[in-house]
Amino acid sequence: MPPSTSGPSASPSPATLPPALNIGALDRLLAPLNTDQLLRQVIVDAFPSRTVVTTSFGAESAVLLTLIAKTDPATPVVFLDTGYLFAQTLTYRDELVRHLGLTDVRTITPDPGDLAREDPEGDLHKHDPDRCCRLRKHLPLENALAAFDVWISGRKRFHGGDRASLPRVEIDGRYLKVNPLADWSEAAIARAFTDTGLPRHPLIEHGFTSIGCFPCTEPSGTGGYSRAGRWPGRDKTECGIHAPNGRYNPE
């Protein structure tokens, strides 16, 4: 079943998380749980109908999405189509959705009015990539996540940089953010693909190890995960969606 281009009719906004949520206590409570148990505790037991997953359908995305499908295939999954994605990524999205049986994949896109006003020539990425990321990723994502309180991401510590000390659970603005694969190694990710026969992103065989928008991504070689191919030649390693505590500011 192909992913929908818009989610189902909006339901009433769920109650927000308590402002005094003790993230340290929650982290200790969840620490003994393995990844499967953590996801079930969050999606099924603690926060039903309040949890959303974001994914790029990139080089490693299939691992988290497999675990989500096993926990509850109806879990909302949000995918950002910036308008600059590789055609192979869109094809891979459709293949994985069918393969895993995910039933609520929501493909979201930038607002056409925002694009016409702020990027009429489609070249904003060339001279202001931070603002381009905000226009094509942050703004549409803010709208798509508004009805949820818990946000699951696929980030991992071995990615390095700001992710090197990534916790399994954290507070990011108004969201409880859960990073169930934070402590997974690169070898564990590779084993997951092999053990389950997961299809791989077609660009991997061409040397892409981290896959984003085509104007800002190039091959980074083979032999392991690397974000070196993202925003090549620039002092930029993240799009800013996962800036600590929502502190991203393109100004």
pTM: 0.83
For residue range 129-159, list pLDDT tens digits in order: 889 889 999 899 999 999 999 999 999 998 8
Domains of the chain: 25-206 (3.40.50.620)
173, exposed or middle or buried, with CB in 10 Å at 0-12, 13-18, 19+?
A: middle
Q: Mean of the pLDDT values across residues 112-117? A: 95
- Per-residue pLDDT at 187 exceeds 80: yes
63, exposed or middle or buried, with CB in 10 Å at 0-12, 13-18, 19+?
A: buried
For residue range 31-48, list pLDDT tens digits in order: 889 999 999 999 999 999
Residues 180 and 172 sit within 8 Å (Cβ to Cβ): no
What is the rounded CA–CA span in Å between residue 82 and residue 135? 9
Look at residue 235 in the predicted model and tell me its pLDDT.
66
Q: Is 216 a catalytic residue?
A: no
> Residues 132, 213, 216, 239: which is the catalytic one?
239
